[in-house]
Structure 1
């Protein structure tokens, strides 16, 4: 059966999106997720079940939503040059919003560290806190993350040049390094001698590195989707806007980690 796309009869390059149930479903799923998270952290009964339900609904609805977008761009040809420009602008604005999220965390860190209050002993790190060695796991993670950025760039350029093997290899190595980074971050948390409730140091440390860790996981999923699409011949040397957006996001994660390593691990731990 031939798929008839009504957009091919348009006299303009913009994509008129068909009615979709996913935006409203994602909205209610996120509301469920937020309520469940609050109930779980406050110790309410069944909070963990509501949290799990909200997470599952959010993941399920987003997967279906992204599936529709991939169908529109890959099989229906709705992502024209003008549409791709709009999507790229949206990704840039999204990354800027993420930048301000990290800015708020860095603001809290420097506000507390540059002028330590008497409640924490007037010193930074606070008395009783043994900071992590920046030249142990943090340095190794820095090498892993910067290497992953180099490999994803190699894979991107290979894709542009029509080198399918290089694109697959570079993207796959990026995913492996990202998983190693996340695993080492988890090990670091499990071995740390302080928790998020140990003074303002523990709060800003876990808030900053934890927020970055969440972004690493999300970025890994972005790159993984791009890898799967490369393997399935969805992407070409001129039409890979979704994968390119994931790469931009990954480079943003790389840059943020450099600031985290220098400020939180090295300067803030001495």
Structure 2
């Protein structure tokens, strides 16, 4: 289980980091093979991806079960709590950098590459010798080129499902904040109600996003093959949807832990960590709504 060295809890050697490395490798390998395989030949990649995802879920369940068991046993003191908080802060910072890279790619493609290819600024020679029929538009029609590969497509307007999903996530930030205040006040029934509402709002967001993707593919012909617009759209919204999925699962786990009485005003880092993560996901969506759907 572990032992104390001075005032700091030191766990025993764990095999979970090795399991994490293996299943994450399998997941990425399967996803890469699936995305790069010729049409109709992606069975191996999809199988590997499925095995990897199931392995990742098993790893999370087992590893966090060990951490929760150690926490409930009273093994963690204030210094360990600070270590967990710093670790979560650095994790969220890494997520900021993760999405920052994708927003940077969107900015570069839309603000620099597209005008250069159209002959603006320093791109006159680029336009003349590389793509002299490119008109430099962004969005509908593919900008004078991608429609020749994936067909003409239409964009998704911001005032339908995207706006509704924005309101859903903003509401979920309010409900989880209310649940946090209820935890500090010791009102477990109120925690369960508002935390449960947060889980339902997250699941509703994912349902609407899945509906939006089906509409994009079937009715608007907006796919991953729709030039740089399609690739950046699905890259940003898809990874955000993945984060909402993970956040919703974590919120559901926290709900069951609250039901079992695991948290108190003095010991609530697990709840706080998930709340921080959820607020981060909400802020990222506001950026997506502004720069992907509106502008």
TM-score, with length taken from structure 2: 0.84
Structure 1 regions of 5+ residues with no counterpart? none
Q: Which secondary structure does the structure 2 equivalent of 1:114 belong to?
A: helix
Larger Rg: 2
1:121 aligns with 2:135: yes
Moved over 3 A (4+): 4-7, 126-129
Q: In 2, Cα distance between the equivalents of 1:207 and 1:6? A: 44
Q: In 1, Cα distance between the equivalents of 2:56 and 2:154? A: 38
Q: In 2, Cα distance between the equivalents of 1:198 and 1:5? A: 53
Alignment RMSD, CA only? 1.6
Which stretch of structure 1 is more off in the superposition, 252-261 or 111-120? 111-120
Cα deviation 1:179-236 (Å, max 9, x = unaligned): 0000000000100110011010001111111111111011111111111100011111
**Native 8 Å contact 1:222 1:243 kept in 2:** no
Cα deviation 1:50-85 (Å, max 9, x = unaligned): 2222222221122111100000111x1122111111
Give the aligned partner of residue 32 of structure 2. 38
1:246 aligns with 2:274: yes
Q: In 1, Cα distance between the equivalents of 2:59 and 2:242? A: 19
1:99 aligns with 2:96: yes
Distance 1:265 1:44, change over 3 A: closer
Give the aligned partner of residue 180 of structure 1. 204
More relative contact order, 1 or 2 (CA 8 Å, 6+ apart): 1
Matches within 5 A, 1:1-270: 6-7=3-4, 10-12=5-7, 14-41=8-35, 42=37, 43=41, 46-74=44-72, 76-115=73-112, 116=114, 117-118=117-118, 121-125=135-139, 126-127=142-143, 128-192=152-216, 193=220, 194-267=222-295
TM-score, with length taken from structure 1: 0.92
Shift of 1:6: 4.1
Q: In 2, Cα distance between the equivalents of 1:224 and 1:185? A: 19
Structure 2 regions of 5+ residues with no counterpart? 119-130, 144-151
Q: In 1, Cα distance between the equivalents of 2:45 and 2:154? A: 33
The count of corresponding residues between Structure 1 and Structure 2 is 260
Q: In 2, Cα distance between the equivalents of 1:214 and 1:208? A: 10
